[in-house]
Amino acid sequence: MAPVSTAAVEVCDLVKTYGTRRAVDGLSLRVPPGSVLALLGPNGAGKTTTIEICEGFRRPGAGTVRVLGLDPIADAATLRPRVGVMLQGSVGGYTGARALELLRLFASYAARPHDPVELLDGVGLADVARTPVKRLSGGQQQRLSLALALVGRPELVFLDEPTAGMDPQARRRTWEFIRRLRADGVTVVLSTHFLDEAEQLADTVVVIDAGRVVAAGTPAELTRSGAEGQIRFRAAPGLRLESLVADLPEGSQASEPEPGRYLLRGEVSPQLLATLTAWCAGQGVLADHLSVERRSLEDVFLELTGRELRA
C-alpha cells in the first residue's frame, strides 16, 4: 500500500548501487507542495541519480519514491504530463530543430501549453528563435531547456543544475523564473553545486555527499548552527595573539594563516569587535581590511564533509 502522502515528492531510504559503488545510500527527503528544495552537493554526490529516479528514468535499488503521490515508473503515463524536467547538461531535444520549433513541438504535447513565442521571449531567446538548437551556446541551451520544462504548465519541475554554463545575467533571470514558479504554486526540486543558488532560492536545502544526506534545513538554519562567524583583518606580521585570545570570550580562536593576515573565529558580536580594536590600539597596530564574515553554506559543507564543494 502506498503511504498516504501530502508531499509533492517523498523519498524514503533510497538506495541505488552501480556495481559495487553506492551512488545513493539511504537517502530520504520530503518536498512540501509549492516549495523549492535544493539538493546541494559536489559532483558525484548522487544528486542526478536521485533526481532521475524521481523522474522515472532509473529504478530504485531499495527504498520508496512517491512523486505527486504516485510511483514514478508504474504511473509514468499519468505523471509525465504533470511534471516538467530539465536534464543535466543537454537540451535533449532534436538538435537540428530550431529553438522555437522545438518549443512548439513540446507545446503540442500539452493540453493547455504556454504560448511558445512568449515563453521563449521570457527566457531571453527571442533573438535566436530561428537558430538550430545545436548552434546555441551552452547557456542558451540551458535556457531553452528550462522553457521546454515549463511549456506544459507543470505542477512540479525537476531542474538538474539549471544554471550550469550560464553567464551571471542569465543566472539571475533563471533565479527570477524559479521565484515566480514558487509564487505561482509550482513545486521545484533543483540540484546545484552553487551555494548562493541554494541560499537564494530554496525553502529547504538538503546537503548530500556520497549518496547520503549530511544536513537539511532552511538556509538560515544551516548557517546559524555551530560557529557563528569570523573576522579577518590585516596588520603587521608576527603579532602575539596569545594576549588577544586571553581578552576574548571563551571558545574564540585567533590565528595567522598567512604572514600579516589574521583570522578570528568566534561568536561575532559588537563586544568582540570592540575587544579586537581595543587590543590593536594597545599593541599600537592599525588593523586593515577588517571584515566580518557570516558563516556560509560553503563553510557548513566543508565542516560536514571535510571537503571543498567544488573540488
Partner 1 sequence: MITSFAPAPGAAPRSRMLAAQTSMEFRLLLRNGEQVGLTMVIPLLLLFFFNLPLLYSLNNPRRIDFVVPSIVALAVMSAAFTGLAIGTGFERKYSVLKRLGATALPRSVLIGGKTLAVLLIEAVQIVFVCALGFVLAWHPHGDPLLALVLVALGTAAFGGLGLLVAGTLRAEVTLAAANLIWLILLFAGGIAIPLTRYPDSAREVLQYLPSAALSDGLHQVLQDGRGVPIRALLTLLAWAAVALPAAARWFRWE
Nearer to partner 1, 184 or 250 (CB): 184
C-alpha cell at 309: 564543494
* Residue 247 touches partner 1, criterion: CB under 8 A: no
Residue in 120, 176, 173, 124 with CA at minimum distance from that of residue 151:
120
* Residue 45 touches partner 1, criterion: CB under 8 A: no
* Residue 53 touches partner 1, criterion: CB under 8 A: no
- Choose which of 153, 173, 212, 261 interacts with partner 1 (CB under 8 A): 153
Nearer to partner 1, 33 or 217 (CB): 33
For 177-195, give the DSSP string.
HHHHHHHTT-EEEEEES-H
Phi, psi of 35 (to 5 degrees): -110, 170
* Residue 150 touches partner 1, criterion: CB under 8 A: yes
* Residue 80 touches partner 1, criterion: CB under 8 A: yes
Phi, psi of 116 (to 5 degrees): -60, -40
Nearer to partner 1, 26 or 113 (CB): 113
* Residue 77 touches partner 1, criterion: CB under 8 A: yes
Amino acid at 167: D
Q: What size, in residues, is the chain?
A: 311
- Choose which of 26, 32, 63, 81 interacts with partner 1 (CB under 8 A): 81
Nearer to partner 1, 58 or 193 (CB): 58
Nearer to partner 1, 73 or 263 (CB): 73
Residue 149: C-alpha distances to residues 59, 82, 127, 181, 304 (Å):
22, 11, 20, 12, 33
* Residue 256 touches partner 1, criterion: CB under 8 A: no
For residues 273 and 217, the answer to whether their CB atoms sit within 8 Å is no
Choose one: 83-91, 162-170, 189-197, 206-214; the region binding partner 1 (CB under 8 A).
Answer: 83-91
- Choose which of 73, 97, 216, 304 interacts with partner 1 (CB under 8 A): 97
d(CA 143, CA 280): 51
Phi, psi of 181 (to 5 degrees): -60, -45
| CB < 8 Å & 24+ apart, contacts of 117-121 | 119/147, 119/150, 119/151, 120/144, 120/147
In the complex, minimum distance from the CB of residue 167 to partner 1, in angstroms, rounded to a whole number: 22
By three-state DSSP, how is residue 165 classified? Answer: coil
Total number of residues that touch partner 1 (CB under 8 A): 44
Amino acid at 114: H
* Residue 50 touches partner 1, criterion: CB under 8 A: no
- Choose which of 104, 173, 212, 261 interacts with partner 1 (CB under 8 A): 104
d(CA 144, CA 178): 15
Nearer to partner 1, 65 or 186 (CB): 186
The site string for partner 1 over 118-147 (x = CB under 8 A, - otherwise) reads: xx-xx-------------------------
* Residue 154 touches partner 1, criterion: CB under 8 A: yes
Interacting residues with partner 1 (CB under 8 A): 55-57, 77, 80-83, 85, 87, 90-97, 101, 104-106, 108-112, 114-115, 118-119, 121-122, 148, 150, 152-155, 180-181, 184-186
